[in-house]
Amino acid sequence: MIRDSEPLVLGIETSCDETGVGIVRGHTLLADTIASSVEQHARFGGVVPEVASRAHLEAMTPTVERALADAGVSLTDVDAFAVTAGPGLPGALMVGVAAAKAYALSLGKPLYGVNHLAAHVCVDQLEHGPLPKPCVALLVSGGHSSLLLVPDVAGDVRPLGSTVDDAAGEAFDKVARVLDLGFPGGPVIDRMAREGDPAAIAFPRGKYSDGTYDFSFSGLKTAVARWVEARERAGEPVPVADVAASFQEAVVDVLTQKALAVCKDNGVRDLLIGGGVAANSRLRALAAERCERAGVRLRVPRPKLCTDNGAMVAALGAELVASGLAPSDLEVPADSSLPVEAVTL
């Protein structure tokens, strides 16, 4: 139920290649509007920071206006603004932070500069209600593969593990390039893998049983490339579906094994998975299977809320307002390397 007494928060997300604007009231999502520049990056095989920044500049005002229209509210109805202050691409972040500052200053409303990773955790509240305290969060995207202990998403997020080289989403993009499947790689590998055998090729599981909560996918990516090159040199056809399925299985096997290890070692019974790779169908299925066996409750937002979006930023902004935390200074910077412990600046 929507309570008019709860603050109306508009969130802006520009950490990478998508201009996202979300509007929430409490835990209720009223609008989630996205303008993506992914097609502009596809011919380069990856995100070009300068192209992303220009796309954000062009999309910002129209995207805000669409979100307001979808929510049936006006700018003057907004009680607070939230914006991704980091981590992310520096130029892209600057566009969003500058826009949020302009809106907040012109309307005399509070501004919250928030952490992109904490926002990925908080967005699940829009679908499944308040987060358990504590919970474990597995965040997997093109730039991040992180395991977090979250006693309180508004102020206590503790990193336990991260990638030491390629993030999971980055590995998906690079393997898709090896297989000539285009960019972005995650969705197309997910689709192709459904036609393949995940046990066809025994690709390595980096850092699988090393006693840490860290990830490594660079070796896996290289192993796939060398396997494909060997087939091509021998003049043999490359079974693309089998390669995709076997690679994907190696990634999700490690992700879920490490996530359940964190839950067990910390006595936590709730696991949240977020980030763009959380939209992967095999990751969701394997996580559900392993969580059920381990007696761990699994929370995964619907796929649209897993990828970068303004709704997650607005959700975290609303949580900060509800927690009574002071807003950010209007001189809040864009910090491309913002650590996850800094939920807000």
| Same-domain status, 291 and 318 | no
Please check whether residue 211 lies inside any domain of the structure: yes
Q: Do 239 and 279 fall within a single domain? A: yes
Q: In angstroms, rounded to a whole number, what is the distance separating the alpha carbons of residues 171 and 35?
A: 24
Do 200 and 51 lie in one domain? The reply is: no
Whether 203 and 276 map to the same domain: the answer is yes
Residues 42 and 118 in one domain: yes
- 78 annotated ligand-binding residue: no
Q: Is residue 344 part of a domain?
A: no
Please state the rounded mean pLDDT for residues 116-132: 96
Is the domain of 139 the same as that of 83? no
Residues 224 and 291 in one domain: yes
Residue 190 belongs to a domain: yes
- Same domain? 179 vs 273: yes
Instruction: Tell me: pLDDT of 219 over 80.
Output: yes
141 annotated as ligand-binding: yes
Residue 1 inside a domain? The answer is no
Query: Residue 40's pLDDT is what?
Result: 81
Please write the tens of the pLDDT for every residue from 182-207.
989 999 999 999 999 999 999 999 99
User: Residue 215, SS3?
Assistant: strand
| Amino acid at position 200, single letter | A
C-alpha distances out from residue 280 to 104, 169, 270, Å: 36, 10, 20
- What 3-state DSSP class applies to 114? strand
pLDDT tier, 290 (very low <50, low <70, confident <90, very high otherwise): very high
Tell whether 128 is covered by a domain. no
How many separate domains does the chain show?
A: 2
147 in the same domain as 173:
yes
Is 310 annotated as a binding-site member? no
With cut-offs at 50, 70 and 90, classify the pLDDT of residue 1. very low
Give the tokens for residue 255. 């992700």
pLDDT digits (tens, 9 = 90+) for 24-83: 999 999 999 999 887 787 777 778 888 889 999 999 999 999 999 999 999 999 999 999
Residue 264 included in any domain: yes
- Per-residue HEC secondary structure of 295-321 comes to CCEEECCCHHHHCCCHHHHHHHHHHHH
Whether residues 75 and 164 share a domain: the answer is: no
pLDDT, one tens digit per residue, over 239-267 is 999 999 999 999 999 999 999 999 999 99
For residue 42, the enclosing domain spans 8-123+309-322
Least Cα distance to 29 among 273, 271, 277, 313 occurs for: 313
143 is in an annotated binding site: yes
Decide if 342 is inside a domain: no
The pLDDT score that the predictor gives to residue 143 is 83
For the segment 156-178, the average pLDDT, to the nearest whole number, is: 95
Domain of 29, CATH number, reads 3.30.420.40
The pTM score is 0.94
* Within-domain flag for 329: no
Is 190 annotated to bind ligand? yes
Q: Note the pLDDT of residue 3.
A: 52
The two counts, helices (H) then strands (E), for the chain are 12, 10
User: What percent of the chain has pLDDT above 90?
Assistant: 90
Q: What pLDDT does residue 4 have?
A: 65
Region 135-143: mean pLDDT is 93
Q: What is the model's pLDDT at position 312?
A: 98
CB atoms within 10 A of CB 268: 19
Q: What is the mean pLDDT of the chain?
A: 95
Q: Is 149 found in the same domain as 266?
A: yes
In whole angstroms, give the CA distance from residue 279 to residue 199.
Answer: 22
The sign of the CA dihedral 277, 280, 284, 286 is negative
Q: If you average pLDDT over residues 260-275, what whole number do you get?
A: 97
Answer whether 206's CB lies under 8 Å from 215's CB. yes
Name residue 45's amino acid. Answer: G
Residues 116 and 162 in one domain: no
